[in-house]
Amino acid sequence: MSDNFFVAVSGQPNCGKSTMFNALTGSTARVGNYPGITVDRTEGYYTNDGVSVHLVDLPGTYSLTSYSMEEVVARNVIVDEKPDVVINMLDATSLERSLYLAVQFMEIGVPVVLGLNMMDEVKKKGIRIDAQKLSKLIGVPVIECVARRGIGKDELMAAVQQVADKTKGKWTPVNISYGHDLDPAIDEMSALIKENEFMTDRYDPHWLAVKYLEEDEIVIKNGRESGPLYGQLEAIVKRVSEHVNKTLNTYPEAILADYRYGFINSILKQGVISREDNLRFDSSDKIDKVLTHKFMGPLIMFGVMYAMFYITFTFGAYPQGWVENGFGWISSTIGSLLPDGLLKSMLVSGVIDGVGAVMGFTPLILIMFAMLVFLEDLGYMARVAYMVDRVFRMFGLHGMSIMPFIMAGGLPGGCAVPGVMTCRTLRSPKERIATILTAPFMICGAKATAYIMLVGAFYPESATSVMFFLVLISWGLALCVGRLLRWTALKGESTPFVMELPPYRIPTLHGVAIHTWDRVWQYIKKAGTVILAISILMWALMTFPQLPPERVQAYDAQRTAVTAQSQNWDGSGEQKTTKLDEMISRINYSEGEEALKTSYAGRMSDFISPVTNLAGFPWQANISFIGAFAAKEVFVSTMSTAYSLGDEDPDNAATLSSKIAADPAWSPAVVWSVFIFMMVYVPCMVTVAVIIRETNWKWGLFSVFGSLGFGYALSVLIYQFGTLLGY
Amino acid sequence: MSVSLRSMAKDQKGVVVSVNVRGELGRRIRDMGLIPGTEFRIVGRAPLKDPVALRMKGFTITLRNNEADFITVKVEE
């Protein structure tokens, strides 16, 4: 037997599985994704005494059915990758339910080692578990563990090696009796399956028969593609199902579950476990009395969210500044080394500034994820979902959807990038995608600067209330569009809320650090590459085609002329220089404006103006919206360029505001049309990259074009009705 | 007397009589260990009275009221 095994680590959620996985693999753990889906695939190595074991961490599941992505993944790894051994971690404080998964592994036939985790808590609760007896009765090694302190990890691996040596890759499925109604049907079906070699290359016949009775969607679907036997099998299932429905008023799948639990109970009752009244209070219940209290609960929740938000954006601003300064330094260094020209322009404006803008978010994501992972591991996130589920359900979303909304700018100043990434805490695909698509409507920090500029221009008297109103609109739009999506593109039943409220447990620093870093690293890697491509594209759109040489010469001539004239101006030398600078920068801006209008972006703006005219956008806003796809901050800087202010500082919103306020093109109808379009039209490219990464290209494109269409429709309505009403 | 789980009040104890739903919801409920014969206690309701939280077999689970409708229970006096 070689010393290199392939071992899968599995367990129910909150059983300490990942903690044990981290203890076993140390710093070798690496996260990837299962192809095409967002379930994390963590892998690592355990080495000790010349033994090297390749471990894969299966997603936490309560069972091995085919409803959730996690369950399907866990099952497919077992069936397709055939690990030598599965380590099944159990939460010993709820042994009966924990063994439910173990029994299902044993039914598939994969060799199992049980890790009885949280033995310290069990002892504290006065519960006694006889691990040896359990091991004897169930027929697999049982190791007592305390994963948080790494206790039991070497014993686990020793047991793994023993089991692997003994089984030598041979699987022996355990057949549980499912009673006189189901057993004959199972026997009949497995005989047929064996005879016809129906999917036997992948599955054990008995297990396959059981899955048919459970009406497992994936097995039934694969069966239909595998051969004619499926008709016979489905007929048997139908017959049995009708029979038990008539005689027992139940379903085969319920009987299967009952017998599995019966099997578990018959083992536990043979002196494996003795405990006190298990419905008694424990400390988690006491904490919940406060944290989920009718009035206190929501208050504390808002407090926690506000604190997270505050910490992320206040403390994150410093490292974000360092990263941005770092990129600024690189940018200026390269700028001074390279001669002026297209290469320099592309490297500086396209590559470094584009990628730098993305990397600037890394500290925010790191801080936010660290806190989020902490709260999740602590068990608080489940309580938040529990408290707000009722409200969010009305809009077709899930209780867990609240965090992404807050992070994306539900309190203005957030950012859709971490917001969308927070959606990973949502387990149900439809509600998750609905949340991912609507969270970018929130007023993120970049949009906030544009709003501050515009609100300052048009509503200087009541800026605060208008801002507040805009925030309310963003929530309303996000929730209503969520509702709309769940009625249309993401139609379907809401996912069951049957969810565990795990006991509060202080997470390990190591676990939080690993999880946080993995997510941040994925962000840097994947978002970084997409961003690089898009920012070069945006740069090209705004640079090409360049001004014809005679125009450039004309501007050069103007500058030379002004410089020459300045000799003859009145006033002191200092006054002359100031005036000259002013004139030159005015010429520069004219050149910039003309270049912008000549570029593809400018032509696009011209080209689309017949369409955008329906929504009343001034041409400056038009072109700014195109640029703002790269990053919403660009809206303000492009507006400032477009308004040709002799002001070098695009952050100086006040001057820009007064200039815009003076422009008669901005009627109230136009203002609100632009406001709403800005809120909805497309997520910035970083967000789109993250949406693609978290879902797929299809949803990324839907997000871009869906929001664009929706925002446009709203703006046209506002502008047309507004104008009609005389605003 | 058997009633729907929805109608139970906070701190009441009960035993599951039957789970009358199949498909994903039925399976989730059963996977959690909420099967006939399970003893539990209602530990609380969310601020808007829904979902409801139950304590059983050493852990706490939550479900929505319209999901609790499918679970018939015998209330312990």
Can you tell me whether residue A357 is helix, strand or coil? Answer: helix
Residue type, B36: P
Please state, in angstroms and as integers, the Cα–Cα distance from residue A153 to each residue in A26, A89, A134, B72, following that order.
11, 11, 19, 43
B50 pLDDT more than 80? yes
* Separation in Å, CA A435 to CA A196, A274, A346, A424, A438: 46, 45, 35, 10, 5
Q: B51 to chain A, minimum CA–CA distance in Å?
A: 7
For residues A516 and A678, the model is more confident at A678
Per the structure block, which two tokens stand in for A225?
């593609």
A416 vs A435: CA distance, rounded Å: 11
> Residue A112 pairs with which residues in a beta bridge?
A86
Q: Which of A65, A386, A503 lies nearest to residue B46, judging by beta carbons?
A: A386
Q: Using CA atoms of A90, A95, A97, A103 in order, give the dihedral in degrees to the nearest 10.
A: 70
Whether the bond between A545 and the residue before it is cis, its omega within 30 degrees of 0, is yes
Q: Looking at residue A316, what is its pLDDT?
A: 84
Residue, of A536 and A134, whose pLDDT is higher: A134
Most confident of the following: A272-286, A329-343, A526-540: A329-343
Determine which helix (DSSP H) or strand (DSSP E) holds B5, and give its type and residue range. none
The mean pLDDT of A419-436, rounded to a whole number, is 86
Check CB contact under 8 Å for A387 and B24: no
Quote the CA–CA distance of A70 and A402 in Å, as a whole number: 22
Give the mutation candidate from B13, B19, B50, B60 for the A interface (greatest A CB count, under 10 A): B60
| Predicted pLDDT of residue A279 | 64
Q: Which of A120-129, A262-271, A562-571, B22-31 has the weakest average pLDDT?
A: A562-571
pLDDT in tens, B57-77: 778 999 999 999 999 999 987
**In sequence order, what are the beta bridge partners of A8?**
A56, A86
| Closest CA relative to residue A261, chosen from A68, A59, A88, A104 | A104
Please tell me which of the candidates B61, B64, B67 has its beta carbon nearest to residue A500.
B61
Query: In chain A, what residues touch B13 (CB-CB under 8 Å)?
Result: 279
In 3D space, the residue among A397, A375, A413, A425 whose CA is nearest the CA of residue A38 turns out to be A425
Q: Which of A258, A285, A298 sits opposite B35 (nearest CB)?
A: A258
Q: Taking residues A265-285, what's their average pLDDT? A: 79
Question: How far is it, in rounded angstroms, from Cα A534 to Cα A512?
Answer: 32
Q: Are residues A315 and A367 in contact, defined by beta-carbon separation less than 8 angstroms?
A: yes
Interface A:B, Cβ pairs < 8 A: 133
Quote the CA–CA distance of B51 and B33 in Å, as a whole number: 18
Q: Please name the residue ranges forming H helices in A227-251.
A: 229-248
Q: Do A390 and B28 touch (CB under 8 A)?
A: no
CA–CA min distance B32, chain A (Å): 7
> What is the tens place of the pLDDT at every residue in A574-595?
887 888 887 887 787 788 778 8
Please report the residues numbered 371 through 430 in chain A whose beta carbons come closer than 8 angstroms to any beta carbon of chain B: 382, 386-387, 389-391, 393
Does the beta carbon of B18 lie under 8 angstroms from any beta carbon of chain A? yes
In this model, does residue A155 exceed pLDDT 90?
Answer: yes
A497 vs B26, B58, B64: nearest CB? B64
Considering the entire predicted model, what is its pTM?
0.81
Q: Chain B: nearest CA to A69, how far in angstroms?
A: 13
- From the list B29, B43, B44, the residue facing A498 with the nearest CB is B29
Q: Do residue A389 and residue B27 have CB atoms under 8 angstroms apart? A: no
In the stretch 30-69 of chain B, residues with CB closer than 8 A to chain A read 30-36, 39-41, 43-44, 46-51, 53, 55-64, 67
pLDDT at A721: 94
pLDDT reading at A650 higher than 60:
no
Whether A469 has its CB under 8 Å from any CB of chain B: the answer is no
Which pLDDT value is given to residue A649?
47
Question: How far apart, in whole angstroms, are the C-alpha atoms of residue A171 and residue A211?
Answer: 18
Cβ–Cβ under 8 Å, residues A365 and B30:
no
Considering only CB atoms, A253 lies closest to which of B27, B47, B60, namely: B27
ipTM of the complex: 0.94
**What pLDDT sits at residue A350?**
76
Nearest to A391 among B30, B34, B48 (CB): B48
Contact: A389, B51; criterion CB under 8 Å: yes
- Amino acid A3: pLDDT: 60
Distance from C-alpha of A417 to C-alpha of A176, rounded to nearest angstrom: 49
Mean pLDDT, all residues of chain A: 86
Nearest-by-CA chain B residue for A101: B31
Q: A75, A27 in Cβ contact below 8 A?
A: no
Partner-chain contact A94 B53, CB within 8 Å? no
Closest CA to A113 of A164, A147, A68: A164
Residue type, A499: M
Max CA separation in chain A (angstroms): 111
pLDDT in tens, A363-381: 887 888 888 889 888 989 8
**pLDDT band at residue A278 using 50, 70 and 90 as cut-offs:** low
Rounded to whole angstroms, the Cα distance separating A497 from B68 reads 10
Which percentage of chain A shows pLDDT scores above 90?
A: 39
3-state secondary structure of A41: strand
Q: Please spell the DSSP secondary structure of A13-38, one letter per residue.
A: TTSSHHHHHHHHHGGG-EEEE-TTS-
> Which token pair is A210?
């059981």
A38: closest CA of chain B, how far (Å): 21
- Phi-psi sector, A418: left (phi>0), alpha (psi -120 to 50), beta: alpha
- What residues form DSSP beta bridges with A41? A32
A140 closest CA partner among A122, A156, A124, A123: A156
CB A222 within 8 A of CB A199: yes
Interface of A with B in 224-283 (CB under 8 A): 249-251, 253-254, 257-258, 261, 278-279
Q: Which of B47, B58, B67 sits opposite A498 (nearest CB)?
A: B67
Residue A479 has pLDDT above 70, yes or no: yes
% of chain A residues with pLDDT over 70: 96
User: Would the pLDDT of A552 be above 70?
Assistant: yes
Backbone angles phi, psi at A599, to 5 degrees: -65, 170
* pLDDT(A718) > 80: yes
Mark yes or no for CB contact B63/A63 under 8 Å.
Answer: no
A489 is written with which tokens?
């593109």
CA gap A695, A489 in Å, rounded: 15
Rounded to whole angstroms, how far apart are CA atoms A381 and A507?
13
Interface test with B, best of A125, A286, A498 (most B CBs within 10 A): A498
* Contact yes or no for B44 and A298 at CB 8 A: no
